[in-house]
Amino acid sequence: MGKRKTQRKNATMLDSDDDNSSVSSSSTMRSDRMSVSASEEAEFNKDSLLDEAVDALYEKRGSTREKALAVIIEAFNSNLQQGQQFVERKFATLLHQCLNSIKKGSSKEISLASHTIGLLALTVGPGDNAREILEESMIPLSQAFKSGSDPSKTASLLECMAVITFVGGNDPEETEKSMQIMWQLVHPKLGSNVVAVKPSAAVITAVVSAWSFLLTTMDGWRLSPKLWQESITYLSSLLDKDDRSARIAAGEALAVIFEMGSLEKFAAETKGFSDGSVSEGNKSKEGFSYIQGLKGKILNQVRDLSVEAGGKGSAKKDLNNQRNLFKDVLEFLEDGYSPNTSMKIGGDLLQTSSWSQLIQLNFLRCFLAGGFTKHMQENEFLQDIFGFTPNKRNLLGSEHMSYGEKRMYKSPNSALNKARTQLLNKQRMLSAGRNFGHYAVNVGDEDS
Protein backbone atom coordinates (compact mmCIF):
# COMPACT_ATOMS: atom_id res chain seq x y z
CA MET A 1 0.00 0.00 0.00
CA GLY A 2 2.80 2.41 0.96
CA LYS A 3 4.57 1.87 -2.37
CA ARG A 4 1.41 2.50 -4.39
CA LYS A 5 0.75 5.74 -2.46
CA THR A 6 4.29 6.91 -3.16
CA GLN A 7 3.93 6.04 -6.83
CA ARG A 8 0.59 7.82 -7.06
CA LYS A 9 2.11 10.91 -5.45
CA ASN A 10 4.95 10.86 -7.98
CA ALA A 11 2.53 10.41 -10.85
CA THR A 12 0.60 13.41 -9.62
CA MET A 13 3.81 15.44 -9.62
CA LEU A 14 4.55 14.43 -13.21
CA ASP A 15 0.96 14.88 -14.42
CA SER A 16 0.04 18.17 -12.77
CA ASP A 17 0.17 21.48 -14.61
CA ASP A 18 2.34 24.32 -13.37
CA ASP A 19 -0.63 26.69 -13.39
CA ASN A 20 -2.67 24.47 -11.06
CA SER A 21 0.24 24.08 -8.64
CA SER A 22 1.06 27.77 -8.26
CA VAL A 23 -0.14 29.98 -5.41
CA SER A 24 -0.38 33.66 -6.19
CA SER A 25 -0.96 35.23 -2.77
CA SER A 26 1.66 37.60 -1.42
CA SER A 27 1.85 35.58 1.79
CA THR A 28 2.79 32.47 -0.14
CA MET A 29 5.42 34.41 -2.08
CA ARG A 30 6.90 35.50 1.23
CA SER A 31 6.81 31.87 2.34
CA ASP A 32 8.66 30.88 -0.83
CA ARG A 33 11.55 33.11 0.09
CA MET A 34 11.71 31.63 3.57
CA SER A 35 11.28 27.96 2.71
CA VAL A 36 13.35 27.72 -0.46
CA SER A 37 16.55 29.70 -0.30
CA ALA A 38 18.50 30.59 -3.40
CA SER A 39 21.10 27.95 -2.64
CA GLU A 40 18.47 25.28 -2.05
CA GLU A 41 16.75 26.09 -5.32
CA ALA A 42 20.06 26.06 -7.20
CA GLU A 43 21.08 22.74 -5.71
CA PHE A 44 17.66 21.10 -5.90
CA ASN A 45 17.17 17.53 -4.81
CA LYS A 46 17.97 15.91 -8.16
CA ASP A 47 18.29 12.43 -6.71
CA SER A 48 14.79 12.73 -5.29
CA LEU A 49 13.48 13.81 -8.68
CA LEU A 50 15.10 10.79 -10.36
CA ASP A 51 13.75 8.47 -7.67
CA GLU A 52 10.26 9.80 -8.23
CA ALA A 53 10.62 9.47 -12.00
CA VAL A 54 11.68 5.82 -11.68
CA ASP A 55 8.77 5.15 -9.29
CA ALA A 56 6.43 6.71 -11.86
CA LEU A 57 7.50 4.02 -14.36
CA TYR A 58 5.29 1.62 -12.37
CA GLU A 59 2.18 3.68 -13.17
CA LYS A 60 -0.52 2.28 -15.44
CA ARG A 61 -0.99 5.49 -17.39
CA GLY A 62 1.30 5.49 -20.42
CA SER A 63 1.59 9.29 -20.59
CA THR A 64 2.90 9.33 -17.01
CA ARG A 65 5.59 6.80 -17.86
CA GLU A 66 6.54 8.78 -20.96
CA LYS A 67 6.99 11.97 -18.92
CA ALA A 68 9.06 10.08 -16.37
CA LEU A 69 11.36 8.67 -19.06
CA ALA A 70 11.81 12.17 -20.53
CA VAL A 71 12.86 13.46 -17.08
CA ILE A 72 15.36 10.60 -16.68
CA ILE A 73 16.84 11.18 -20.14
CA GLU A 74 17.32 14.88 -19.53
CA ALA A 75 18.86 14.27 -16.11
CA PHE A 76 21.33 11.76 -17.54
CA ASN A 77 22.26 14.21 -20.30
CA SER A 78 22.69 17.25 -18.07
CA ASN A 79 24.61 15.72 -15.16
CA LEU A 80 26.67 12.59 -15.83
CA GLN A 81 28.05 12.38 -12.30
CA GLN A 82 24.57 12.46 -10.83
CA GLY A 83 23.52 9.77 -13.30
CA GLN A 84 26.42 7.54 -12.30
CA GLN A 85 25.61 7.92 -8.61
CA PHE A 86 21.96 7.21 -9.25
CA VAL A 87 22.77 4.09 -11.30
CA GLU A 88 24.78 2.69 -8.39
CA ARG A 89 21.54 2.58 -6.40
CA LYS A 90 18.85 1.91 -9.00
CA PHE A 91 20.57 0.19 -11.95
CA ALA A 92 18.49 -3.00 -11.99
CA THR A 93 15.20 -1.21 -11.29
CA LEU A 94 15.70 1.32 -14.07
CA LEU A 95 16.80 -1.31 -16.61
CA HIS A 96 13.90 -3.67 -16.00
CA GLN A 97 11.26 -0.93 -15.93
CA CYS A 98 12.59 0.35 -19.27
CA LEU A 99 12.42 -3.19 -20.66
CA ASN A 100 8.81 -3.41 -19.46
CA SER A 101 8.07 -0.18 -21.30
CA ILE A 102 9.56 -1.66 -24.47
CA LYS A 103 7.40 -4.76 -24.10
CA LYS A 104 4.06 -3.06 -23.46
CA GLY A 105 4.36 0.65 -24.21
CA SER A 106 3.27 2.87 -27.09
CA SER A 107 5.67 3.73 -29.90
CA LYS A 108 6.63 6.93 -28.09
CA GLU A 109 7.24 5.11 -24.82
CA ILE A 110 9.29 2.43 -26.59
CA SER A 111 11.42 5.15 -28.21
CA LEU A 112 12.02 6.88 -24.87
CA ALA A 113 12.76 3.63 -23.03
CA SER A 114 15.18 2.52 -25.76
CA HIS A 115 17.03 5.80 -25.55
CA THR A 116 17.18 5.54 -21.76
CA ILE A 117 18.73 2.06 -21.96
CA GLY A 118 21.34 3.33 -24.42
CA LEU A 119 22.16 6.22 -22.07
CA LEU A 120 22.33 3.77 -19.19
CA ALA A 121 24.94 1.69 -21.05
CA LEU A 122 27.08 4.74 -21.86
CA THR A 123 26.78 5.94 -18.26
CA VAL A 124 27.94 2.67 -16.65
CA GLY A 125 30.62 2.00 -19.30
CA PRO A 126 32.16 -1.42 -20.06
CA GLY A 127 31.83 -4.03 -17.33
CA ASP A 128 29.35 -6.37 -15.69
CA ASN A 129 26.46 -3.89 -15.79
CA ALA A 130 26.94 -3.26 -19.50
CA ARG A 131 27.01 -7.03 -20.07
CA GLU A 132 23.74 -7.39 -18.18
CA ILE A 133 22.15 -4.63 -20.24
CA LEU A 134 23.13 -6.38 -23.48
CA GLU A 135 22.04 -9.85 -22.36
CA GLU A 136 18.72 -8.71 -20.88
CA SER A 137 17.79 -6.36 -23.72
CA MET A 138 18.46 -8.31 -26.93
CA ILE A 139 15.28 -10.40 -26.91
CA PRO A 140 12.88 -7.53 -26.00
CA LEU A 141 14.51 -5.27 -28.60
CA SER A 142 14.35 -7.96 -31.30
CA GLN A 143 10.68 -8.61 -30.54
CA ALA A 144 9.86 -4.90 -30.53
CA PHE A 145 11.06 -4.64 -34.14
CA LYS A 146 8.14 -6.89 -35.10
CA SER A 147 5.44 -4.83 -33.37
CA GLY A 148 4.33 -2.05 -35.68
CA SER A 149 6.28 -0.14 -38.28
CA ASP A 150 6.70 3.35 -36.82
CA PRO A 151 10.04 4.59 -38.30
CA SER A 152 10.84 6.71 -35.24
CA LYS A 153 10.36 3.76 -32.90
CA THR A 154 12.44 1.47 -35.15
CA ALA A 155 15.24 4.04 -35.32
CA SER A 156 15.32 4.32 -31.51
CA LEU A 157 15.45 0.54 -31.14
CA LEU A 158 18.30 0.35 -33.66
CA GLU A 159 20.26 3.08 -31.87
CA CYS A 160 19.75 1.32 -28.56
CA MET A 161 20.91 -2.04 -29.90
CA ALA A 162 23.95 -0.44 -31.51
CA VAL A 163 24.98 1.44 -28.36
CA ILE A 164 24.52 -1.43 -25.89
CA THR A 165 26.44 -3.76 -28.22
CA PHE A 166 29.18 -1.15 -28.65
CA VAL A 167 29.57 -0.81 -24.86
CA GLY A 168 28.71 -4.31 -23.59
CA GLY A 169 29.79 -6.64 -26.39
CA ASN A 170 32.89 -8.59 -25.39
CA ASP A 171 33.44 -10.68 -28.50
CA PRO A 172 32.92 -10.33 -32.27
CA GLU A 173 30.19 -12.98 -32.33
CA GLU A 174 27.92 -10.75 -30.22
CA THR A 175 28.55 -7.76 -32.46
CA GLU A 176 27.94 -9.81 -35.59
CA LYS A 177 24.69 -11.12 -34.10
CA SER A 178 23.42 -7.57 -33.56
CA MET A 179 24.48 -6.59 -37.08
CA GLN A 180 22.58 -9.56 -38.51
CA ILE A 181 19.41 -8.63 -36.60
CA MET A 182 19.66 -5.12 -38.02
CA TRP A 183 20.29 -6.40 -41.53
CA GLN A 184 17.18 -8.57 -41.38
CA LEU A 185 15.07 -5.41 -41.30
CA VAL A 186 16.12 -4.54 -44.85
CA HIS A 187 17.02 -8.06 -46.06
CA PRO A 188 14.63 -10.49 -44.31
CA LYS A 189 15.11 -14.22 -44.70
CA LEU A 190 11.95 -15.17 -46.51
CA GLY A 191 10.14 -18.39 -45.76
CA SER A 192 6.77 -19.90 -46.53
CA ASN A 193 5.09 -17.88 -43.77
CA VAL A 194 7.05 -14.65 -44.21
CA VAL A 195 5.78 -11.74 -46.28
CA ALA A 196 8.38 -9.20 -47.36
CA VAL A 197 7.57 -5.66 -46.22
CA LYS A 198 9.36 -2.87 -48.03
CA PRO A 199 11.15 -0.72 -45.43
CA SER A 200 10.80 3.05 -45.54
CA ALA A 201 13.73 5.28 -46.45
CA ALA A 202 13.96 6.40 -42.80
CA VAL A 203 14.26 2.80 -41.60
CA ILE A 204 16.85 1.97 -44.28
CA THR A 205 18.93 4.97 -43.21
CA ALA A 206 18.68 4.01 -39.52
CA VAL A 207 19.63 0.38 -40.24
CA VAL A 208 22.65 1.29 -42.38
CA SER A 209 23.86 3.89 -39.86
CA ALA A 210 23.60 1.52 -36.87
CA TRP A 211 25.12 -1.36 -38.89
CA SER A 212 28.05 0.84 -39.99
CA PHE A 213 28.61 2.02 -36.42
CA LEU A 214 29.08 -1.57 -35.25
CA LEU A 215 31.10 -2.45 -38.34
CA THR A 216 33.75 0.03 -37.19
CA THR A 217 34.46 -2.26 -34.22
CA MET A 218 34.82 -5.44 -36.28
CA ASP A 219 37.78 -7.15 -37.87
CA GLY A 220 36.69 -7.35 -41.51
CA TRP A 221 38.61 -10.55 -42.01
CA ARG A 222 36.19 -12.39 -39.72
CA LEU A 223 33.13 -11.75 -41.89
CA SER A 224 32.22 -14.23 -44.60
CA PRO A 225 32.62 -13.42 -48.34
CA LYS A 226 28.90 -14.09 -48.78
CA LEU A 227 28.04 -11.39 -46.24
CA TRP A 228 30.40 -8.94 -47.90
CA GLN A 229 28.96 -9.56 -51.35
CA GLU A 230 25.39 -9.13 -50.08
CA SER A 231 26.13 -5.98 -48.10
CA ILE A 232 28.31 -4.27 -50.72
CA THR A 233 25.83 -5.00 -53.50
CA TYR A 234 22.95 -3.63 -51.42
CA LEU A 235 24.86 -0.51 -50.36
CA SER A 236 25.79 0.17 -53.96
CA SER A 237 22.11 -0.04 -54.92
CA LEU A 238 21.27 2.56 -52.24
CA LEU A 239 23.56 5.07 -53.95
CA ASP A 240 21.02 5.17 -56.79
CA LYS A 241 18.01 5.75 -54.51
CA ASP A 242 16.11 9.03 -54.41
CA ASP A 243 16.44 9.50 -50.66
CA ARG A 244 19.52 11.58 -49.89
CA SER A 245 19.87 10.45 -46.27
CA ALA A 246 19.96 6.80 -47.40
CA ARG A 247 22.63 7.64 -49.99
CA ILE A 248 24.76 9.40 -47.39
CA ALA A 249 24.45 6.49 -44.93
CA ALA A 250 25.39 4.02 -47.68
CA GLY A 251 28.37 6.15 -48.69
CA GLU A 252 29.68 6.19 -45.12
CA ALA A 253 29.24 2.42 -44.83
CA LEU A 254 31.12 1.80 -48.08
CA ALA A 255 33.91 4.12 -46.92
CA VAL A 256 34.36 2.00 -43.78
CA ILE A 257 34.35 -1.19 -45.86
CA PHE A 258 37.03 0.17 -48.19
CA GLU A 259 39.04 1.45 -45.22
CA MET A 260 39.02 -2.02 -43.68
CA GLY A 261 40.33 -3.41 -46.97
CA SER A 262 37.39 -5.78 -47.00
CA LEU A 263 36.53 -5.42 -50.68
CA GLU A 264 40.08 -6.23 -51.71
CA LYS A 265 40.13 -9.16 -49.30
CA PHE A 266 36.85 -10.44 -50.69
CA ALA A 267 38.12 -10.10 -54.29
CA ALA A 268 41.36 -11.91 -53.43
CA GLU A 269 39.50 -14.75 -51.74
CA THR A 270 37.16 -15.09 -54.70
CA LYS A 271 40.04 -15.14 -57.15
CA GLY A 272 42.02 -17.69 -55.20
CA PHE A 273 39.15 -20.00 -54.28
CA SER A 274 39.32 -23.10 -56.48
CA ASP A 275 39.79 -26.81 -55.87
CA GLY A 276 41.26 -27.36 -59.30
CA SER A 277 38.05 -28.30 -61.08
CA VAL A 278 37.04 -26.49 -64.23
CA SER A 279 33.63 -25.53 -62.82
CA GLU A 280 35.10 -24.08 -59.65
CA GLY A 281 37.76 -22.27 -61.64
CA ASN A 282 35.13 -20.65 -63.84
CA LYS A 283 33.06 -19.66 -60.79
CA SER A 284 36.04 -18.03 -59.10
CA LYS A 285 36.87 -16.06 -62.25
CA GLU A 286 33.26 -14.94 -62.54
CA GLY A 287 33.22 -13.92 -58.88
CA PHE A 288 36.46 -11.97 -59.18
CA SER A 289 35.21 -10.21 -62.31
CA TYR A 290 31.97 -9.36 -60.52
CA ILE A 291 33.80 -7.79 -57.56
CA GLN A 292 36.10 -5.77 -59.81
CA GLY A 293 33.09 -4.58 -61.80
CA LEU A 294 31.25 -3.66 -58.59
CA LYS A 295 34.24 -1.67 -57.36
CA GLY A 296 34.35 0.27 -60.63
CA LYS A 297 30.61 0.89 -60.45
CA ILE A 298 30.87 2.25 -56.89
CA LEU A 299 33.71 4.56 -57.92
CA ASN A 300 31.56 6.01 -60.71
CA GLN A 301 28.56 6.39 -58.41
CA VAL A 302 30.65 8.20 -55.80
CA ARG A 303 32.11 10.50 -58.45
CA ASP A 304 28.63 11.41 -59.73
CA LEU A 305 27.24 12.08 -56.26
CA SER A 306 30.20 14.32 -55.36
CA VAL A 307 29.19 16.76 -58.11
CA GLU A 308 25.41 16.24 -58.16
CA ALA A 309 23.56 19.35 -59.25
CA GLY A 310 20.37 18.51 -57.39
CA GLY A 311 17.05 16.99 -58.34
CA LYS A 312 17.58 13.68 -56.54
CA GLY A 313 15.89 13.79 -53.19
CA SER A 314 13.66 16.53 -51.81
CA ALA A 315 15.89 17.76 -48.96
CA LYS A 316 17.98 20.28 -50.88
CA LYS A 317 19.56 21.63 -47.71
CA ASP A 318 21.45 18.33 -47.43
CA LEU A 319 22.87 18.58 -50.94
CA ASN A 320 26.10 20.22 -49.76
CA ASN A 321 26.50 17.58 -47.05
CA GLN A 322 26.16 14.89 -49.69
CA ARG A 323 28.65 16.53 -52.03
CA ASN A 324 31.20 17.03 -49.25
CA LEU A 325 30.85 13.46 -48.04
CA PHE A 326 31.25 11.90 -51.46
CA LYS A 327 34.17 14.20 -52.31
CA ASP A 328 35.90 12.78 -49.22
CA VAL A 329 34.96 9.22 -50.21
CA LEU A 330 36.21 9.81 -53.75
CA GLU A 331 39.52 11.21 -52.51
CA PHE A 332 39.89 8.19 -50.25
CA LEU A 333 39.12 5.69 -53.03
CA GLU A 334 41.42 7.36 -55.54
CA ASP A 335 44.29 8.59 -53.36
CA GLY A 336 43.91 6.76 -50.02
CA TYR A 337 43.46 9.90 -47.90
CA SER A 338 41.09 9.57 -44.95
CA PRO A 339 39.26 12.73 -43.81
CA ASN A 340 40.83 14.59 -40.89
CA THR A 341 38.24 16.38 -38.76
CA SER A 342 38.35 18.43 -35.57
CA MET A 343 35.73 19.98 -33.32
CA LYS A 344 35.85 22.12 -30.20
CA ILE A 345 34.42 20.69 -26.99
CA GLY A 346 34.46 23.17 -24.14
CA GLY A 347 37.58 24.80 -25.51
CA ASP A 348 39.40 21.51 -26.17
CA LEU A 349 39.96 19.93 -29.55
CA LEU A 350 38.61 16.48 -30.47
CA GLN A 351 40.15 15.12 -33.67
CA THR A 352 39.50 12.14 -35.93
CA SER A 353 41.77 10.78 -38.64
CA SER A 354 39.90 7.74 -40.01
CA TRP A 355 36.48 6.87 -41.40
CA SER A 356 35.84 4.51 -38.49
CA GLN A 357 36.43 7.26 -35.91
CA LEU A 358 34.32 9.72 -37.88
CA ILE A 359 31.40 7.29 -38.13
CA GLN A 360 31.59 6.53 -34.40
CA LEU A 361 31.75 10.23 -33.52
CA ASN A 362 28.81 11.20 -35.73
CA PHE A 363 26.66 8.34 -34.47
CA LEU A 364 27.29 9.04 -30.77
CA ARG A 365 26.95 12.77 -31.29
CA CYS A 366 23.53 12.22 -32.87
CA PHE A 367 22.47 9.76 -30.16
CA LEU A 368 23.53 11.96 -27.22
CA ALA A 369 22.35 15.19 -28.86
CA GLY A 370 22.33 17.89 -26.14
CA GLY A 371 24.25 15.62 -23.75
CA PHE A 372 27.19 15.05 -26.11
CA THR A 373 29.45 17.81 -24.75
CA LYS A 374 28.81 16.81 -21.13
CA HIS A 375 29.57 13.15 -21.85
CA MET A 376 32.73 13.95 -23.78
CA GLN A 377 33.94 16.12 -20.90
CA GLU A 378 33.14 13.61 -18.14
CA ASN A 379 32.65 10.12 -19.63
CA GLU A 380 35.98 8.29 -19.42
CA PHE A 381 34.78 5.50 -21.71
CA LEU A 382 34.09 7.93 -24.57
CA GLN A 383 37.30 9.81 -23.86
CA ASP A 384 39.23 6.55 -24.25
CA ILE A 385 37.43 5.72 -27.49
CA PHE A 386 38.46 8.98 -29.14
CA GLY A 387 41.70 9.64 -27.30
CA PHE A 388 40.24 12.86 -25.94
CA THR A 389 41.58 14.49 -22.77
CA PRO A 390 39.59 17.53 -21.66
CA ASN A 391 41.30 20.38 -19.85
CA LYS A 392 40.37 20.33 -16.16
CA ARG A 393 39.45 24.00 -16.25
CA ASN A 394 36.40 23.09 -18.33
CA LEU A 395 35.02 20.77 -15.66
CA LEU A 396 34.85 23.14 -12.70
CA GLY A 397 31.23 24.21 -12.83
CA SER A 398 28.19 25.40 -14.69
CA GLU A 399 29.90 28.63 -15.69
CA HIS A 400 31.83 26.53 -18.19
CA MET A 401 28.75 24.88 -19.64
CA SER A 402 28.12 25.50 -23.32
CA TYR A 403 25.33 27.85 -24.32
CA GLY A 404 23.31 24.92 -25.66
CA GLU A 405 23.67 22.97 -22.41
CA LYS A 406 22.57 25.96 -20.34
CA ARG A 407 19.51 26.40 -22.54
CA MET A 408 18.67 22.70 -22.32
CA TYR A 409 18.99 22.63 -18.53
CA LYS A 410 17.43 26.01 -17.73
CA SER A 411 14.70 26.18 -20.36
CA PRO A 412 11.24 26.35 -18.73
CA ASN A 413 10.00 24.00 -21.45
CA SER A 414 12.47 21.21 -20.64
CA ALA A 415 11.07 18.05 -19.07
CA LEU A 416 13.54 18.20 -16.18
CA ASN A 417 12.78 21.84 -15.43
CA LYS A 418 9.00 21.30 -15.63
CA ALA A 419 9.17 18.46 -13.12
CA ARG A 420 11.55 20.53 -11.00
CA THR A 421 9.14 23.50 -10.99
CA GLN A 422 6.17 21.29 -10.12
CA LEU A 423 8.00 19.72 -7.18
CA LEU A 424 9.18 23.11 -5.91
CA ASN A 425 5.61 24.44 -6.13
CA LYS A 426 4.41 21.51 -4.03
CA GLN A 427 7.12 22.20 -1.46
CA ARG A 428 6.12 25.86 -1.36
CA MET A 429 2.45 25.05 -0.85
CA LEU A 430 3.30 22.71 2.02
CA SER A 431 5.58 25.33 3.49
CA ALA A 432 2.85 27.96 3.24
CA GLY A 433 0.55 25.73 5.25
CA ARG A 434 3.17 25.27 7.94
CA ASN A 435 4.23 28.91 8.20
CA PHE A 436 0.82 30.56 8.16
CA GLY A 437 -1.31 27.89 9.72
CA HIS A 438 -1.86 26.86 13.31
CA TYR A 439 1.78 25.80 13.77
CA ALA A 440 3.38 28.87 12.15
CA VAL A 441 7.11 29.30 12.72
CA ASN A 442 8.33 32.65 13.99
CA VAL A 443 10.15 34.48 11.18
CA GLY A 444 12.72 35.81 13.53
CA ASP A 445 13.70 32.30 14.58
CA GLU A 446 14.51 31.39 11.00
CA ASP A 447 16.58 34.52 10.47
CA SER A 448 18.62 34.09 13.60
CA 197 – CA 190 distance, rounded (Å): 10
Q: What are phi and psi of 348, to 5 degrees?
A: -105, 155
Q: What are phi and psi of 414, to 5 degrees?
A: -75, 150
pTM of the model: 0.76
CA 175 – CA 234 distance, rounded (Å): 20
Q: Transcribe 185-199 into DSSP letters.
A: TTS----TT----PP
Mean pLDDT of 400-408: 44
The percentage of residues in the chain with a pLDDT greater than 70, rounded to a whole number, is 66
CA 197 – CA 184 distance, rounded (Å): 11
Side chain identity, residue 235: L
User: For 218-240, how does the pLDDT look when each residue is reduced to its tens digit (9 = 90+)?
Assistant: 876 566 667 777 889 999 999 99
CA 244 – CA 325 distance, rounded (Å): 12
CA 99 – CA 335 distance, rounded (Å): 47
CA 8 – CA 60 distance, rounded (Å): 10
Question: What is the reported pLDDT for 253?
Answer: 96
What do you get for the CA distance between the two ends of the chain, in Å? 41
Question: What is the reported pLDDT for 318?
Answer: 75
CA 60 – CA 328 distance, rounded (Å): 51
Sequence-separated (6 or more) residues with CB below 8 Å from residue 61: 11, 15
Question: What is the reported pLDDT for 221?
Answer: 58
Sequence-separated (6 or more) residues with CB below 8 Å from residue 410: 417
Pair type for strands 341-345 and 348-352 = antiparallel
Q: What are phi and psi of 344, to 5 degrees?
A: -85, 130
CA 378 – CA 386 distance, rounded (Å): 13
Which of residues 260 and 392 earns the better pLDDT score?
A: 260
**Contact in structure between 228 and 263 (CB atoms under 8 Å):** yes
**Contact in structure between 251 and 333 (CB atoms under 8 Å):** no
| pLDDT value at 408 more than 50 | no
User: For 92-138, how does the pLDDT look when each residue is reduced to its tens digit (9 = 90+)?
Assistant: 999 999 999 999 999 999 999 999 999 999 999 999 999 999 999 99
Angle between helices 80-104 and 128-144 (to 10 degrees): 30
Question: What is the reported pLDDT for 17?
Answer: 43
Q: Transcribe 256-295 into DSSP letters.
A: HHHHTTHHHHHHHHHHH---S-HHHHHHHHHHHHHHHHHH
User: For 163-211, how does the pLDDT look when each residue is reduced to its tens digit (9 = 90+)?
Assistant: 999 999 988 899 999 999 999 999 877 554 555 678 899 999 999 999 9
